[in-house]
Amino acid sequence: MSHLVLEGLGKSYGAVTAVEGLDLAVERGEFVSLLGPSGCGKTTTLQMIAGFVPVDRGRILLDGGDLAAVAPNRRGLGIVFQSYALFPHMTVAENIAFGLEMRGIARDEREKRTLEAMALVGLKGFADRYPRRMSGGQQQRVALARALVIKPALLLLDEPLSNLDAKLREEMQGELRQIQRTIGTTTILVTHDQHEAMALSDRIVLMNQGRVEQIGAPDAVYGRPSSAFVANFLGKTNMLKGQGTGTGQVSIDGFAVAVEGAGAGPLTLAVRPERLVVMPAGTAGFGGRVKGRVFQGSYWLLSIESAAGPLIVMRGNDGTAVPVEGEAVSLSFATGDAALLKDGAAS
């Protein structure tokens, strides 16, 4: 059995359903992100796992045991909150050791494990520092060490990097992933930041209005979105209108390409901007015309009106000529670069 299993998990507040029918199996040592916009149910899901919010429907199993009757403080979980929730009157070492002390761990063992946790998160030498004299990144490390020092069965992270500036956040993402891999603790992260989820996760659970839209590895969900919501939430995308031929191919202005699951009739395909190829007009493909272009340093962003609708194309700054505004072009994409959206209908 998987390390953590959510079976038909549901939670309602009066007439409002926060989470419904959530099924998820998490393997030991896996890093899984609950991703989605505000109000999608990701934080409620995390709080149900932690025991802060009662479950209305379904079950939460940890190593086969039902957590329903287990008090939050007895679930053996490590939790890092968005605000870090450090004790301002305690030093770094005292903050980290607090959970061990509450569990009755002997003083010598507390000190040993506290020092190990501090070294793990890069806080060696900060034992006597108080939180108010530390940067946001350092406070985040203290909160993480405090969660890890108890050797939790599961690490729950509730938007722990959201209060950091962009540069520090990116640095901490790398450190957090490395720490998780080093210790191998099963981790559930809640975030609304798609870049963060893709950078950190083994799998992403993309949620919308209390339900799961898609579960998969970051590259799979990004490259093969199952719905318009998934395609649009995970970065820029193009919705191409085409016609299913009934032979497993989709035709766009005479350009035919095989697409898995394509039937007959109007269809909508999702293709990422970096997967569209821009070629000179008259080349095999479907027609378009450049409406605008913006230089972005490592690439050009082209706006193109096409037979498939308005498109955005990322063209690498590789020294080759870039089409100018008003220029006619041809466009194409490879078979594996198009995802048929769930409803299958052009809109």
> Backbone dihedral region of 73: left (phi > 0), alpha (psi from -120 to 50 degrees) or beta?
alpha
Determine the pLDDT at residue 295.
Answer: 96
pTM: 0.89
Mean pLDDT, residues 37-60: 96
| Region 314-342 average pLDDT | 93
**pLDDT score, position 345:** 44
pLDDT band at 347 (very low <50, low <70, confident <90, very high): very low
Q: How far apart are CA 71 and CA 317, in angstroms?
A: 56
- The yes-or-no verdict on residue 344 having pLDDT over 70 is no
Q: What is the structure's pLDDT at 217?
A: 97
pLDDT, averaged across the chain? 93
The one-letter amino acid at 19: V
Query: N- to C-terminal Cα distance for the chain?
Result: 42
3-state SS record for the chain: CCCEEEEEEEEEECCEEEEEEEEEEECCCCEEEEECCCCCCHHHHHHHHHCCCCCCEEEEEECCEECCCCCHHHCCEEEECCCCCCCCCCCHHHHHHHHHHHCCCCHHHHHHHHHHHHHHCCCCCCCCCCHHHCCHHHHHHHHHHHHHCCCCCEEEEECCCCCCCHHHHHHHHHHHHHHHHHHCCCEEEEECCHHHHHHHCCEEEEEECCEEEEEECHHHHHHCCCCHHHHHHCCCCEEEEEEEECCCEEEECCEEEECCCCCEEEEEEEECHHHCEEEECCCCCEEEEEEEEEECCCEEEEEEEECCEEEEEEEECCCCCCCCCCCEEEEECCHHHCEECCCCCCC
Instruction: Choose the CATH number for 236-340 among 2.40.50.140, 3.90.660.10, 3.40.50.150, 3.20.20.70.
Output: 2.40.50.140
- Give the pLDDT of residue 6: 97
Confidence of residue 192 (pLDDT cuts 50, 70, 90): very high
Predicted pLDDT at 343: 56
Q: What is the pLDDT of residues 108-146, one digit of tens each?
A: 999 999 999 999 999 999 999 999 999 888 998 999 999
pLDDT of 342 reads 72
Q: 4-223 has which fold? A: Rossmann fold (3.40.50)
Sequence spans of domains, the chain: 4-223, 236-340
Q: Say whether pLDDT at 164 is over 90.
A: no
Chain segment 255-276, per-residue pLDDT in tens:
999 998 888 999 999 999 999 9
Report the range of poorest mean pLDDT among 15-19, 289-293, 294-298, 343-347: 343-347
